[in-house]
Amino acid sequence: MDEKFDIQAYMTRGVENIVSNALRATLRDPRESAFMVRFAAASRRASQRRSEAEKAGEHIPPFLIASITSACNLHCAGCYSRCNHATVDAAPVRQLTDEEWLAIFRQSEELGVSFILLAGGEPMLRRGVLEAAGKLPNIIFPIFTNGTYMDVAYFKLFDTCRNLIPVLSIEGGRAETD
């Protein structure tokens, strides 16, 4: 194979495929469709910013993973965060504030980042960070959660902020995850 692998193009195509498939999946829900159309346009602009940066020698990834807390209420057998001791049964120390995370999210958007996976520990313990993320509709925020902190206020937040997408892990014990 004579061609050099272009990671930027590969990742950009991946983001475009996700957006295209998500847009098709929302056709029955006008609110979802409207959000996805706006996000698709924002994603194209972000891709152009990344492409311009790449031409200038600066590589900007289309997505990030943000571990927003080291706290968690469960001890799932396959937890990567506990495995490497990033999550422990002690109060978190030196966590970024909600405002600091919002600044990071805004800087990421300016650079052309389209997706920021929110992880932890248990990210739903940081409601203020999730509310901050909801203010940036040009970025999709999958939230990798055990779901045990879902409540009416979170359902309202997810309904209002379509860019916040809970991704439920069902690795915990039956009593916790059912």
What DSSP string runs through 143-170?
EEE-STT--HHHHHHHHH-TTEEEEE--
pTM of the model: 0.84
Residue 51's pLDDT is 92
Q: What is the rounded CA–CA span in Å between residue 42 and residue 85?
A: 37
Residue 87's pLDDT is 83
**pLDDT values of the chain reduced to their tens digit, one per residue, 178 residues:** 557 887 777 877 877 787 777 777 777 888 888 888 899 899 999 999 999 999 999 999 999 999 999 999 988 777 778 878 888 888 888 899 999 999 999 999 999 999 999 998 999 999 999 999 999 999 999 999 999 999 999 999 999 999 999 998 876 566 765 5
Q: Is the peptide bond before 121 cis (omega within 30 degrees of 0)?
A: yes
Residue 1 lies in a domain: no
Domain count, the chain: 1
Residue 77 lies in a domain: yes
Q: What is the rounded CA–CA span in Å between residue 84 and residue 123?
A: 17
Residue 36 lies in a domain: yes
Residue 63 lies in a domain: yes
Q: What is the rounded CA–CA span in Å between residue 23 and residue 17?
A: 10
Angle between helices 98-111 and 127-134 (to 10 degrees): 30
Q: What is the Cα gyration radius of the chain?
A: 17
Residue 130 lies in a domain: yes
List of residues 6+ apart from 47 with CB closer than 8 A: 12, 15, 16, 62, 112, 114
List of residues 6+ apart from 68 with CB closer than 8 A: 95, 96, 101, 118, 119, 120, 121, 123, 126, 129
Residue 2 lies in a domain: no
Residue 91 lies in a domain: yes
Q: Max CA-CA distance within the chain?
A: 55
Residue 2's pLDDT is 56
Q: What is the rounded CA–CA span in Å between residue 147 and residue 141?
A: 15
Residue 157 lies in a domain: yes
Residue 173's pLDDT is 61
The residue segments making up the domain with residue 60 are 7-177
The answer to whether 68 touches 101, Cβ cutoff 8 Å, is yes
